[in-house]
């Protein structure tokens, strides 16, 4: 029986990434408030927010300082745009700060509202700049199988997940997908991580050669792949990939939407994963998700090309009403100040060994085939057979069952295919890390018992 709020919700709200057929029967979890790393439903039940919302509430809930800076900016200048040569101090100061923090030299920052918009902008800039440089044929962008880069027409095309393409008539022309760098699933028998990385680089080289190097403009990559299942590329992967890109004059776009601002123990995931990107997309933790804001960070050579095109055309014809919204920019700037003032990066580095140890301990669970992670993000992959890595059937719903049982335990995690992802707020304590993994372990135990009762292993 649905509550009044649940009934109103399913009657009016179209929910993203949900089974729209079963939702009216199951109802929705309606949250009412948050405090630190916990959120509370309408009955007052607490849940440890093991996904930081959607990989984003890095500072947790209840940061009054961010509320106050938003209120102050709303009182002073609640809205101003950046079109037609107008600007305002919050956007300027935030761009300056991002340039200061960037892992590679950056000339300008283009502001938008989400990671999807940022990666959509990345594709448009690739096309626009290559036209400006007199290379109208150099337009293809290579992403990866299981990558996640957003849900606009362009960014969903870059995303390498079937459910983002099926019946949306995607991907669009000009997008290609290279192999997924998941050693557990895609390495050849006996192939080491280093050899696997070498093979993937060779395959990318062959792929670019087959497409024609003069037609391939960019390669886009998350430092650690998030919504594809928290896939950590193997050792030496990015240096070898970048050798191939440099050989063919193909730019590297770093999608830092999940990894940026401390998640991997560095300001940017690119640093942690030995990437040297040309351009960078940021969002999510940029404002600890208190307000929507994102950005694309571009180098000087792209900036110069945009300036030349403005001389030719008369305008840079791209932008959003809320690009660099002053309230969102003020909150983002204060968020970055808090990261520095409270040494959040140092806090994360101190927690990583304990977090990863607790995560890796779950690899011994009978339901878990692999436990994988980097920094304060990880996943466990459930399997029907540990020895053969055989997966459960997709309709058996084992990973969603683990998530549902974790919710009963007071823990919010996320099922991504056969993987259970964990990505807590960066301010989580060691005791709360233990709380998270204790609850997840209990959920796995209960799911293992349920799978046995339902004889799911023999039916998989």
Q: Averaged over 359-387, what is the pLDDT?
A: 97
What pLDDT, on the 0 to 100 scale, is given for residue 453?
Answer: 83
Q: Are 207 and 253 in contact (CB under 8 A)?
A: no
Element (H, E) at 241: helix 237-247
Determine phi and psi for 414, rounding to 5 degrees.
-135, 135
Of 104, 339, 142, nearest to 241 by C-alpha is 142
What pLDDT, on the 0 to 100 scale, is given for residue 394?
Answer: 84
Q: Greater confidence, 22 or 140?
A: 140
- How far apart CA 333 and CA 349 sit, in angstroms, is 22
- How far apart CA 206 and CA 208 sit, in angstroms, is 5
Position 460 confidence tier, pLDDT thresholds 50, 70, 90? low
Q: Are 432 and 37 in contact (CB under 8 A)?
A: yes
Contacts of residue 298, Cβ cutoff 8 Å, sequence gap at least 6: 106, 107, 108, 109, 110, 125, 279, 306
Region of 284 (left: φ > 0; alpha: ψ -120 to 50; beta: rest) is: left
The residues that bridge with 298 in the sheet, in sequence order, are 108
Integer-rounded Cα Rg, in Å, for the chain is 22
What pLDDT, on the 0 to 100 scale, is given for residue 458?
Answer: 72
Percent of the chain with pLDDT over 70: 100
Per residue in 189-217, pLDDT (tens digit) is: 999 999 999 999 999 999 999 999 999 99
Q: Are 148 and 55 in contact (CB under 8 A)?
A: no
Per residue in 74-107, pLDDT (tens digit) is: 999 999 999 999 999 999 999 999 999 999 999 9
Locate 123 and state its tokens: 């594709």
Neighbours of 381 (CB within 10 A): 25
What pLDDT, on the 0 to 100 scale, is given for residue 284?
Answer: 98
Position 455 confidence tier, pLDDT thresholds 50, 70, 90? confident
| CA atoms in the 13 A half-sphere facing the CB of 455 | 2
**Structural domains of the chain in order of their starting residue, each with its CATH number:** 4-62+343-459 (3.90.1150.10), 66-341 (3.40.640.10)
Element (H, E) at 49: strand 46-49
- How far apart CA 240 and CA 131 sit, in angstroms, is 28
Determine phi and psi for 413, rounding to 5 degrees.
-130, -175
pTM of the model: 0.96
Element (H, E) at 226: none
What pLDDT, on the 0 to 100 scale, is given for residue 218?
Answer: 98
Alpha carbon separation from 455 to 200, 303, 365, 385 (Å, rounded): 38, 60, 18, 13
Q: Averaged over 238-266, what is the pLDDT?
A: 98
pLDDT > 60? residue 251: yes
Position 459 confidence tier, pLDDT thresholds 50, 70, 90? low
Locate 400 and state its tokens: 């969603």
Name the residue with tokens 């290559």.
130
Neighbours of 255 (CB within 10 A): 32
- Residue 365 CA, distance from chain mean position: 27
pLDDT > 80? residue 457: no
Determine phi and psi for 97, rounding to 5 degrees.
-65, -40
Per residue in 261-279, pLDDT (tens digit) is: 999 999 999 999 999 999 9
What pLDDT, on the 0 to 100 scale, is given for residue 395?
Answer: 86
Per residue in 35-61, pLDDT (tens digit) is: 999 999 999 999 999 999 999 999 999
Range of lowest pLDDT (21-25, 147-151, 200-204): 21-25
pLDDT > 70? residue 399: yes
């Amino acid at each position: 029986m649905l509550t009044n709020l649940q009934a109103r919700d399913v009657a009016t709200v179209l929910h993203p990434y949900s089974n729209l057929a079963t939702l009216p029967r199951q109802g929705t979890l309606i949250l009412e408030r948050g405090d630190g790393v916990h959120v509370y439903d309408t009955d007052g039940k607490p849940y440890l927010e093991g996904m930081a919302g959607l990989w984003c509430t890095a500072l947790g809930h209840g940061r009054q300082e961010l509320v106050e800076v938003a209120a102050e900016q709303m009182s002073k200048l609640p809205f101003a745009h950046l079109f037609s040569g107008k600007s305002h101090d919050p956007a300027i100061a935030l761009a300056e700060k991002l340039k200061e923090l960037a892992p590679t030299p950056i000339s300008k920052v283009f502001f938008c509202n989400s990671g999807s918009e940022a990666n959509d902008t990345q594709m448009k800039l690739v096309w626009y700049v290559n036209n400006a440089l007199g290379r109208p044929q150099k337009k293809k962008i290579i992403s990866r199988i299981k990558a996640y880069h957003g849900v606009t027409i362009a960014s969903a095309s870059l995303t390498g997940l079937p459910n983002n393409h099926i019946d949306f008539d995607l991907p669009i022309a000009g997008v290609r997908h290279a192999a997924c760098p998941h050693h557990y699933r895609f390495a050849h028998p006996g192939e080491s991580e280093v050899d696997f990385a070498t093979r993937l680089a060779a395959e990318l080289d062959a792929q670019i050669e087959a497409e024609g190097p003069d037609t391939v403009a960019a390669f886009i990559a998350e430092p650690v792949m998030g919504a594809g299942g928290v896939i950590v590329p193997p050792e030496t992967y990015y240096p070898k990939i970048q050798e191939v890109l440099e050989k063919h004059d193909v730019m590297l776009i770093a999608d830092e939407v999940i990894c940026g601002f401390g998640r991997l123990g560095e300001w940017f995931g690119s640093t942690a994963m030995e990437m040297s990107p040309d351009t960078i997309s940021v969002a999510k933790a940029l404002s600890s998700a208190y307000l929507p804001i994102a950005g694309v960070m571009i180098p000087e050579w792209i900036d110069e090309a945009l300036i030349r095109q403005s001389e030719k055309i008369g305008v840079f014809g791209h932008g959003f009403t809320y690009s660099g919204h002053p309230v969102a920019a003020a909150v983002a700037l204060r968020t970055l100040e808090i990261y520095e003032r409270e040494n959040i990066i140092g806090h994360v580095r101190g927690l990583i060994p304990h977090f990863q140890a607790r995560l890796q301990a779950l690899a011994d669970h009978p339901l878990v085939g692999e436990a994988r992670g980097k920094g304060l993000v990880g996943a466990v992959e459930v399997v029907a057979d540990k020895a053969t890595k055989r997966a459960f059937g997709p309709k058996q719903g084992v990973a969603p069952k683990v998530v549902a049982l974790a919710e009963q335990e007071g823990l919010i995690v996320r099922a991504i295919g056969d993987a259970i992802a964990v990505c807590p707020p960066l301010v989580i304590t060691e005791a709360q890390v233990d709380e998270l993994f204790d609850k997840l372990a209990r959920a796995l135990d209960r799911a293992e018992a349920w799978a046995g009762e339902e004889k799911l292993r023999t039916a998989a």
